[in-house]
Structure 1
Amino acid sequence: MSRRGWPNKATAPSCHSRRHHLAGSDAVRLDDLHTAFADPRFAAVLCLRGGYGSPRLLDAIDVDLIAAHPKPFVGYSDLTALHTLFNQQAGLVTFHGPMLTTDLLRYDEPHTKHSLWAQLRGEIGAGSTLLHPADYPLITLHGGVAQGRLVGGNLSMLCSMLGTPWALQADGAILFLEDVNEEPYRVDRLLNHLRLAGVLEQLSGVLLGDFAQTDPGKLAALDMVWQDYLLPLSIPVLGGWRAGHCTPNLTLPFGALVTLDADRQTLRLDQTLFTAETPDETRAHHHPA
C-alpha cells in the first residue's frame, strides 16, 4: 500500500479525480486517506465535500495506521461512515463540521467558522458549553439531562451501516441526527429501522440537527415522526441544532463525552479534546473501542 506524499500540495490527488459518481477509484481515495493521516506535515484532515463513496472504503481502511496518527478529521453527510469507524475502531474524537467547498468557501458565515476553529484550536475544553446562535431557537421535545458519548451523523448513512461490522454502537450515547431532502415518510422508515435494530432503546439522549429541504407544508408530519419514535424513549430530546446541511453549520465533537440538558437547551463538553487528561470513559484522540 503506497504512502506517497503530495509534494508542495495540501490537497489529495483524488480531490481532482472523477470516476462516474465517485471522486476517483477506491484505491486512489483509500491511499489518499491513509497518506493524509500518516504524513506528519498535515495537522488535520478537512474534507472537500460529501456525496457518496466513503462506505466503499470501510473494510480496507488501515485502522491501526489511523489510530497511530491521530489528528482532527472534519466533515459530515457521507463522511458519517468514516466518523463512525474512526470513533469506534480507531478511538478518535472526530469533528462533524463544515467542509471546504460545501460550506467554508461558499459561505462566509461567522458562526460556522468560529465553531470549527474554536474546537480545532483547543479553545473549548472540559466544562465548556458548545454555543448555539440565539437567532435559531432550539426546541425541547422531551426534558431531562443525560451524559454520554456524542455519536451519529447522517440518518440515511447510519441506517445503511446497520447489520455490518461498522454499525453504530449507541449504548448510553447521545445520538445526533441530520439529513437532507428526505420526505417525512422516509424519515419515518429510517427511524423505524433504528428502532427495530434496537438502537433507539440504547440511547441516553437525542440531539436533532437540520433536516434540510423539508417542504414547509410537511413540517407537521415530520414533527409527528419525532414524537412517535422519540417521546416513548423518555430521554432528553433537543431539536433545532444548526448542524448538517444548513447555514450556519456548527461543529460537533463526535466520540467525545458530553452532557445534553434539554431543559436548559445546552450541550456541554465533558472532556478535553487534545490532551491525555480526559475522563476514563473516553480519550481525547484515542479511547478504547
Structure 2
Amino acid sequence: MTMHRTIELIAPSGYPHDPEAVQRGITRLRAEGHRVEGIVATERRFQRFAGTDGQRAAELNRLADPGRGLPDIALAVRGGYGAVRILHGLDYDGLQKRLSGQPIAFVGHSDFTAVQLALYARAGLTTFGGPMLVSDFGAPELSSFTMHHFWNALTKPEFTLKVKAPQAQHANVSGMLWGGNLATLTSLVGTPYMPPVEGGILFVEDINEQPFRVERMLYQLHLSGILARQQALVLGDFSGGKTFDYDNGFDLHAVVEQVRSVVGIPVITGLPFGHIENMVTLPFGAQAHLNADAHGFELTMSNYPYLA
C-alpha cells in the first residue's frame, strides 16, 4: 500500500447509525494519504435507508458517467438491508460500458452482496467481498489482518490464501470464485440478478442466523440446483447464531454434516470471511483454485482487475 488512492463512498443499503465510526474510518483513510469522496453517502437518511431508492441507485449510476473521473475504490459504507430495492434501477449497460476492464474496485460485504451479484449477472463486473467503512475502517481498533488482506487483494494480480483449519473433505478444484452473504444471496434465487455460474467455487457467510435457518437457506441453494453446478462450497463465518434446548444438539456442525451428505460437492469450512474483525478480501468473479486436505486449505485467486 504505497500509492495514494481515490476512494468514493457508496451507501446502497442502510444508513450508518454510528457517526463516530464514520469519522474514524474517514480519518484513518485520509491519514494514509487517500482522497475520500462521496461523504454525503454517510449523511443521507430515509426511513432505515441511506437515502431514497432513487438516490441510492443514482449514486452507483453516476459511475457510468463518461464525463467524470473514476475512483480507484468504491467503498460501501455499511450493510444492513436495502440494496435489493435498487437493483432494478441500476444502469447495467452504462456501468458495463464504462467500467469493464477498468481498474476500479467495488468493495463491501453483507447486504452489498446483492449489488455484487447483480453487477456480475447483468454487467459481468468483478467486485470484491471485503471491509466496509463503518464496521471495519471505522472499528474501535483497526485490524492489521483485515487491512493487509484488503490491500493485498486489491493491488496484486494473483494471491494465495492459506488457512490452517482441519477439513473433513479433500478438494482439488478450479472455478470462478463468487458468493457473499447467504441470506442476501438466497433472496435473489430465481431472479435476473442471480448469475448462472457453472463450475464455480461458492463462498457464503452470515451473522445472527440460527443453525436451522442456515440449513434452510443452504437447502434452497441445493434444491434449486445451484450447489450441484458448483465445484465446491466454502463456508465463512456464521457467528451469532444461538442454539436452544429445543435444538437437542442441532448446531452448525450438524448443519454442515447434513449438507455434506446431500450436496455431492466438497464443503470446506473455516474461511475467515464475514462479519468478523479479522477478515480476508475476496475477488468476486476471479478465477480460483482450491486445494484442501485434512490440515487446511489454500485458495489461489487470479485473473481479475486490480489496482496497479
TM > 0.5: yes
Secondary structure of 2:134 counterpart: helix
Give the superposition deviation at 1:104.
1.3
Taking only the aligned residue pairs, the percentage that are identical comes to 34
Residue type of the alignment partner of 1:105: G
> What is the 5 A alignment of 1:123-134?
123=156, 125-126=157-158, 128-132=159-163
Q: Note the residue ranges of structure 1 that are not aligned, 5 or more in a row.
A: 276-289
Q: CA 1:9/1:271 → structure 2, altered by over 3 Å: closer, same or farther?
A: closer
- 2:242 corresponding residue in structure 1: 215
Q: CA 1:139/1:41 → structure 2, altered by over 3 Å: closer, same or farther?
A: same
Instruction: Determine the C-alpha separation between the residues in 2 that align with 1:37 and 1:104.
Output: 26
- 2:303 corresponding residue in structure 1: 271
- 1:243 corresponding residue in structure 2: 273
Give the superposition deviation at 1:272.
4.8
- Among 289, 294, 297, the alignment partner of 1:259 is 289
Confirm whether residue 64 of structure 1 aligns to residue 93 of structure 2: yes
* TM norm structure 1: 0.84
Confirm whether residue 195 of structure 1 aligns to residue 222 of structure 2: yes
Instruction: Determine the C-alpha separation between the residues in 2 that align with 1:195 and 1:101.
Output: 33
Instruction: Determine the C-alpha separation between the residues in 2 that align with 1:105 and 1:83.
Output: 22
Instruction: Determine the C-alpha separation between the residues in 2 that align with 1:223 and 1:170.
Output: 27
Give the superposition deviation at 1:80.
0.5
Instruction: Determine the C-alpha separation between the residues in 1 that align with 2:200 and 2:70.
Output: 34
Secondary structure of 1:140 counterpart: coil
CA offsets 1:127-148 (integer angstroms, 9 cap, x no match)? x31244xxxx424232121111
Confirm whether residue 225 of structure 1 aligns to residue 259 of structure 2: no
- Among 189, 202, 206, the alignment partner of 2:233 is 206
Give the superposition deviation at 1:226.
1.2
Whether contact under 8 Å (1:171, 1:202) holds in the other structure is: yes
Confirm whether residue 52 of structure 1 aligns to residue 84 of structure 2: no
CA offsets 1:26-64 (integer angstroms, 9 cap, x no match)? 111111112245431422200110011111111111012
Secondary structure of 1:227 counterpart: helix
Whether contact under 8 Å (2:107, 2:131) holds in the other structure is: yes
> What is the 5 A alignment of 1:84-95?
84-95=117-128
Confirm whether residue 78 of structure 1 aligns to residue 111 of structure 2: yes
Secondary structure of 1:115 counterpart: helix
Residue type of the alignment partner of 2:78: R
- Among 180, 197, 204, the alignment partner of 1:177 is 204
Give the superposition deviation at 1:228.
1.1
Give the superposition deviation at 1:166.
1.0
- 1:287 corresponding residue in structure 2: none
CA offsets 1:226-267 (integer angstroms, 9 cap, x no match)? 111134334332211111101102101101110111225100
Secondary structure of 1:108 counterpart: coil
Instruction: Determine the C-alpha separation between the residues in 2 that align with 1:93 and 1:213.
Output: 29
Give the superposition deviation at 1:198.
1.1
The alignment covers a number of residue pairs equal to 263
Worse-matched range after superposition: 109-118 or 9-18: 9-18
Secondary structure of 1:142 counterpart: coil
Runs of 4+ aligned residues of structure 1 deviating over 4 Å after TM superposition are 216-220
Instruction: Determine the C-alpha separation between the residues in 2 that align with 1:41 and 1:203.
Output: 34
Whether contact under 8 Å (1:14, 1:28) holds in the other structure is: no
- 1:278 corresponding residue in structure 2: none
> What is the 5 A alignment of 1:79-118?
79-106=112-139, 107-118=141-152
CA offsets 1:59-101 (integer angstroms, 9 cap, x no match)? 1110122112322100001011111112222112210000011
Confirm whether residue 156 of structure 1 aligns to residue 183 of structure 2: yes
Q: Note the residue ranges of structure 2 that are not aligned, 5 or more in a row.
A: 1-7, 10-34
Whether contact under 8 Å (1:236, 1:261) holds in the other structure is: no
Instruction: Determine the C-alpha separation between the residues in 1 that align with 2:125 and 2:113.
Output: 14
Residue type of the alignment partner of 1:97: G
- 1:281 corresponding residue in structure 2: none
Instruction: Determine the C-alpha separation between the residues in 1 that align with 2:198 and 2:257.
Output: 21
Instruction: Determine the C-alpha separation between the residues in 2 that align with 1:159 and 1:178.
Output: 12
